[in-house]
């Protein structure tokens, strides 16, 4: 007899014995039991009633960290099945993570599990000693946008065993980011299914059957007592009011009385001296409505002594319901200490506060955690955390300005429970507007801003971003990126203003847009944020194939340059940022190899660059923040990571989920003398100075007065102008553009009507996504709003007969960072569908092709068939701006911020290269202005005289105008017949223009004219 047969017989015997016992029980007892426990409710019987399918339909589906990790599932016939005839069975061999999910249908309401005690299922034990995680999905929009609540069981048995898990055993999963916290309360009234995470490290087999809800929920599971806050700051002598409430899942009245005994005890405040002790009991009688509350008041006493904050815990003992997860604390505010005096200079405030802090408190200030890692926020005070961030896509639910402000205010409240009530500084990657927030104004990515060649407009885009970010309670922006992109195979190319350091420097007006005055005096205003110059230094110069991060090819690789090239190309923009008063700097993930025998050294370890160049030589007085978990890429053990990066000059460490380990390790390294007190004091002083400048000690909570302007018409008008000015007209044979409203226009292409593709990566989520992800206007919608007679066929399958002109909008789909590297599943070619659309439309009529992308796309093989070609970059949410130039409301004025190559083999190719033969040179950009100058060589000679005279007189505006006229004249002659002889001097001229060498710029343009 096999083992399975024995298990089957054993289970049959057990069930028969149970039936016999039930049969012998008195009928009254059986009736009582039935009344007490509702019948089990099936979730999954695995008889085929739930298909293998995924959202939005109900179904079972697998998932995993890579292609090999998802398990193989089958509905297997088993003679020993605990229920029915089939079980869910599968094989797995998981190296990262993997498992399966049962999601309910997303287009129907969630299920109510609140009447039951828990969930149970049969598991076929293999006695392997491994833990299997079991999760349930609560709240949110659907099973893939919900909270995850998790527990686990150990496979330490053989054969079938029923695993029962009371709902009270589940804990909230704080590391799950697709949606993040909704309310972090297991409500059980809107449930979306379950998930099983299988063990890793060795091949295995599993079988499962009969998932069901069981038992009757006792009141302590469905009723809970809570307080309206966890922390109650109060001025000395004031009275704290603690509201105690009772609530039930489903909002039903309570069945039994709930009592709450309270007592003020413990803490750092002294009873009778700092506060009047309180003690008593609250009773909520049976029948009390859900949500009812009572108030406990804790009076504090005035002693007129300057002192740090003191805590008064209010201990609660609850009967008949679940008690609060933590003890609420009344906090008597710090008062009378010099650092609290806003009239004192920042330097004196910093010195006073620093002198009072312990090593642990200093380590906390140097620590930044991800909001998704800290749950309800108790660790903010427990670890004296100095900062939190939202990584890409880490947002509150709902993702609204009010929810952002409420979330961040809740975190700031937690910081008030610390001894010195040092406020948090909260940071986000608002790299092209407040791009994590649905409904925010999303600007063109930096590469498009570089194409505008408009520093004043760049500053305005920064100002709009700052106003929208600060209105949600966020005072710190991890922007701008000052990388100089030298190889468009890099997945972060669109984060750069361009390939010329002079262009990047000219766009750094955005720092003033974000921060205001260079002195920092505006940082406390409700429409300014602290800016971050990133990524220091050389991340735009990493060599193709040098990355060792996963499957990346360029990103986080090695920048191998001479010191001269480092200074001229990569460091220059950071000096400009320091001169503009930028508040923080973020080092790069990449490595730097200066050919000095050290080989590649990670930037987070380069004390010669961070301490030596940035802080000492450049005079940077802000603080340095690491990139996400970047210290983990350093050599050695974790202690080496910490001391190396801190000693190199990194002041605050972005350790999203490792904040406890970092803080503890830093303290140990300091106690051991491997990180000096002086280095720690320098780091903390820099951090505190920016918090004082931001006015966070006086106003830690969100000022939402500007929230009504988020996504407003006025803000979108700035983004619309930026989108229009970013459009670069590369070719315009026969003056196809601008379009006329009288023309019948055939629109096609994958990016014509897709706001997600149009906004690119770093939009709502880290990687961005296609589709209708945030409010805005697509290019197609903008064309229709402009009054055009437009017909749309995405794949150009509709008839092309009877149209005057075609507009084909093609390009890339969203990506971010190294995920977008060429060679990492990406190239610079149009997709087959886009090529087909271009071919069909351009063969049938005059056509304009718009390329929506984060970098140049290879179009040379089709250039002869295309009448007009536009580099649209990633224009953001305002497709109206693209329509403005298409229909002539604004003229095309954009210029290439990077060289447009003929082939991928040419890369890297940049202005200033000895060999330079591109499809279109850096700085190229035709115009639809009617006053393009004529006159040929004679006009160029006259413009050369004007430029030279204006340069001598310091009349920059006059000189730039002369160079621009000369550029347009040269482009008009060259047309599409760009040669190496004309391209090189043309590109060099734009660099000379940006560096103020106006006469030389016209001389180069004259050279290009003659070559053309």
| Residues taking part in catalysis | 627, 817
- Degrees (nearest 5) of the Cα angle 185, 188, 191? 110
Q: What six digits make up the tokens of 384?
A: 């004296």
Q: What is the dihedral of CA 880, 886, 887, 893, to 10 degrees?
A: 100
* Burial of 352 from C-beta contacts in 10 A (0-12 / 13-18 / 19+): middle
Q: Give CA–CA dist 316/242, Å, rounded.
A: 11
Q: Give CA–CA dist 593/845, Å, rounded.
A: 52
Residues 6+ apart with CB under 8 A from 461: 433, 443, 449, 510, 513, 718, 719, 722
> 10 Å Cβ neighbour count for 809?
31
Q: Give CA–CA dist 873/726, Å, rounded.
A: 7
Report yes or no: 167 and 114 within 8 Å, Cβ to Cβ.
Answer: no
Reduce the DSSP state of residue 192 to 3 states and report it: strand
Nearest Cα neighbor of 474 from 532, 419, 420, 418 is: 532
Reduce the DSSP state of residue 493 to 3 states and report it: helix
| Alpha-carbon distances, residue 823 vs 398, 558, 830, 855, 873 (angstroms) | 37, 16, 15, 15, 21
Report yes or no: 494 and 873 within 8 Å, Cβ to Cβ.
Answer: yes
Q: What is the DSSP letter of 566?
A: I
Placement of tokens 């460091």 in the chain: 571
Strand ranges (E), 751-820 = 789-792, 805-811
> 10 Å Cβ neighbour count for 390?
24
Q: What six digits make up the tokens of 523?
A: 């940082």
Q: Give CA–CA dist 306/322, Å, rounded.
A: 39
Nearest Cα neighbor of 629 from 375, 369, 395, 379 is: 369
Report yes or no: 125 and 153 within 8 Å, Cβ to Cβ.
Answer: no
Phi, psi of 926 (to 5 degrees): -70, 170
Q: What is the DSSP letter of 822?
A: B
| Alpha-carbon distances, residue 642 vs 425, 631, 646, 651, 665 (angstroms) | 21, 7, 6, 11, 7
Q: What is the DSSP letter of 614?
A: I
Q: Give CA–CA dist 778/782, Å, rounded.
A: 6
Residues 6+ apart with CB under 8 A from 77: 85, 86
Report yes or no: 444 and 876 within 8 Å, Cβ to Cβ.
Answer: yes
> 10 Å Cβ neighbour count for 280?
9
| Alpha-carbon distances, residue 160 vs 41, 781, 789, 894 (angstroms) | 20, 59, 68, 69
Phi, psi of 566 (to 5 degrees): -60, -45
Reduce the DSSP state of residue 130 to 3 states and report it: coil
Angle between helix 998-1011 and 936-953 (nearest 10):
170
Sign of the alpha-carbon dihedral angle for 520, 523, 527, 533: positive
Q: Find residue 310's DSSP bridge partners.
A: 332
Q: Give CA–CA dist 612/627, Å, rounded.
A: 20
> 10 Å Cβ neighbour count for 345?
10
Q: Give CA–CA dist 924/971, Å, rounded.
A: 8
């Amino acid at each position: 007899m096999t083992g399975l047969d024995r298990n089957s017989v054993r289970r049959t015997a057990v069930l028969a014995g149970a039936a016999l016992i039930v049969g012998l029980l008195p009928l009254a007892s059986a009736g009582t039991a039935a009344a007490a426990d509702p019948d089990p409710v099936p979730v999954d019987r695995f008889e085929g009633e739930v298909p293998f399918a995924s959202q939005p339909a109900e179904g079972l589906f697998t998932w995993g960290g890579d292609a090999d990790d998802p398990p193989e599932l089958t509905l297997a016939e088993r003679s020993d099945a605990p229920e029915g005839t089939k079980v869910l069975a599968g094989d797995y061999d998981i190296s990262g993570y993997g498992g399966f999910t049962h999601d309910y249908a997303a287009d129907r309401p969630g299920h109510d599990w609140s009447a039951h005690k828990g969930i149970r299922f049969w598991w076929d034990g293999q006695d392997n000693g491994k833990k299997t995680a079991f999760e349930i999905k609560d709240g949110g929009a659907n099973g893939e946008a919900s909270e995850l609540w998790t527990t686990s069981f150990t496979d330490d048995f053989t054969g079938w065993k029923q695993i029962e898990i009371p709902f009270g055993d589940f804990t909230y999963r704080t590391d799950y980011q697709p949606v993040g916290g909704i309310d972090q309360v297991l409500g059980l009234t809107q449930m979306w299914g379950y998930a099983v995470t299988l063990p890793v490290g060795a091949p295995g087999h599993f079988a499962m059957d009969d998932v069901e809800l069981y038992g009757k929920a006792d009141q302590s599971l469905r009723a809970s007592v809570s307080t309206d806050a966890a922390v109650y700051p109060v001025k000395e002598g004031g009275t704290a009011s603690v509201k105690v409430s009772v609530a039930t899942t489903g909002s039903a009245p309570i069945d039994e009385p709930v009592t709450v005994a309270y007592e003020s005890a413990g803490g750092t405040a002294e009873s009778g001296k700092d506060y009047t002790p309180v003690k008593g009991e609250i009773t909520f009688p049976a029948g009390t409505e859900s949500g009812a509350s009572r108030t406990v008041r804790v009076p504090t006493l005035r002693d007129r002594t300057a002192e740090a904050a003191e805590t008064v815990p209010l201990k609660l003992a609850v009967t008949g319901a679940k008690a609060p997860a933590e003890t609420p604390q009344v906090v008597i505010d710090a008062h009378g200490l010099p650092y609290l005096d806003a009239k004192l200079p920042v330097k004196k405030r910093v010195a006073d506060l620093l002198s009072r802090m312990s090593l642990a408190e200093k380590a906390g200030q140097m620590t930044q955690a991800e909001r998704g890692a800290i749950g309800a926020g108790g660790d903010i005070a427990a670890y004296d955390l100095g900062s939190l961030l939202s990584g890409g896509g880490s947002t509150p639910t709902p993702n609204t300005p009010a929810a952002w402000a409420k979330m961040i205010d809740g975190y700031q409240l937690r910081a008030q429970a610390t001894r010195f009530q040092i406020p948090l500084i909260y940071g986000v990657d608002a790299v092209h507007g407040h791009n994590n927030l649905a409904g925010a104004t999303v600007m063109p990515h930096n590469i498009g801003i570089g194409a505008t060649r408009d520093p004043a407009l760049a500053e305005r885009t920064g100002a709009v971003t700052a106003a929208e970010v600060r209105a949600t309670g966020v005072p710190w922006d991890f922007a701008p990126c000052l990388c100089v992109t030298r190889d468009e195979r890099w997945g972060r190319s669109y984060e750069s203003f361009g390939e010329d350091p002079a262009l990047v420097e000219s766009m750094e007006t955005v720092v003033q847009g974000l921060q205001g005055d260079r002195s920092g005096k505006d940082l406390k205003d409700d429409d300014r944020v602290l800016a971050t110059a990133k990524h220091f230094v050389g991340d735009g110069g990493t060599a193709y194939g040098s990355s060792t991060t996963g499957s990346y090819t360029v990103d986080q690789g090695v920048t191998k340059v001479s010191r001269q090239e480092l200074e001229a190309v990569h460091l220059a923009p950071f000096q400009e940022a320091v001169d503009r008063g930028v508040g923080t700097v973020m080092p790069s993930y990449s490595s730097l190899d200066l050919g000095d025998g050290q080989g590649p050294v990670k930037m987070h370890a380069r004390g010669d660059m961070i301490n030596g160049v940035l802080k000492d030589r450049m005079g940077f007085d802000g603080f340095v923040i690491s990139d996400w978990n970047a210290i983990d890429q350093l050599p050695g053990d974790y202690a080496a990571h910490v001391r190396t990066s801190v000693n190199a000059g990194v002041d605050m460490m972005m350790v999203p989920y490792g904040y406890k380990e970092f803080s503890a390790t830093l303290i140990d390294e300091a106690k051991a003398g491997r990180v000096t007190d002086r280095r720690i004091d320098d780091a903390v002083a820099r951090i505190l100075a920016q918090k004082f400048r931001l006015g966070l000690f006086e106003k830690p909570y969100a000022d939402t007065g500007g929230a009504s302007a988020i996504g407003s018409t006025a803000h979108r008008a700035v983004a619309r102008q930026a989108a229009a000015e970013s459009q670069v007209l590369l070719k315009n044979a026969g003056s196809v553009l601008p379009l006329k409203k009288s023309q019948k226009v055939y629109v096609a292409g994958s990016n014509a009507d897709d706001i997600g593709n149009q906004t690119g990566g770093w939009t709502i989520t880290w990687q961005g996504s296609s589709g209708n992800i945030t409010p805005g206007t697509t290019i197609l919608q903008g064309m229709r709003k402009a009054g055009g007679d437009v017909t749309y066929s995405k794949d150009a399958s509709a008839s092309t007969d009877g149209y005057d002109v075609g507009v084909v909008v093609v390009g890339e789909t969203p990506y971010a960072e190294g995920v977008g590297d060429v060679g990492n599943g990406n190239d610079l070619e149009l997709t087959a569908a886009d090529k087909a659309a271009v071919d069909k439309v351009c063969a049938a009529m005059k056509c304009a092709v718009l390329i929506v992308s984060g970098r140049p796309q290879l179009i040379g093989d089709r250039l002869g068939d295309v009448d007009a070609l536009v580099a649209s970059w990633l224009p953001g949410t305002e497709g109206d701006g693209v329509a403005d130039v298409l229909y002539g409301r604004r003229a095309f004025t954009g210029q290439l911020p990077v060289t447009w190559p003929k082939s991928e083999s040419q890369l890297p190719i940049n202005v200033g290269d000895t060999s330079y033969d591109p499809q279109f040179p850096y700085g190229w950009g035709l115009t639809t202005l009617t006053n393009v100058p004529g006159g040929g060589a004679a006009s160029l000679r006259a413009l050369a005289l004007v430029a030279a005279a204006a340069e001598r007189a310091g009349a920059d505006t006059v000189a730039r105008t002369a160079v621009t006229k000369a550029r347009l004249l040269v482009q008009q002659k060259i047309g599409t017949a760009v040669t190496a002889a004309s391209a090189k001097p043309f590109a060099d001229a734009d660099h000379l223009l940006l560096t103020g060498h106006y006469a030389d710029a016209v001389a180069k343009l004259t050279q290009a004219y003659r070559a053309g």
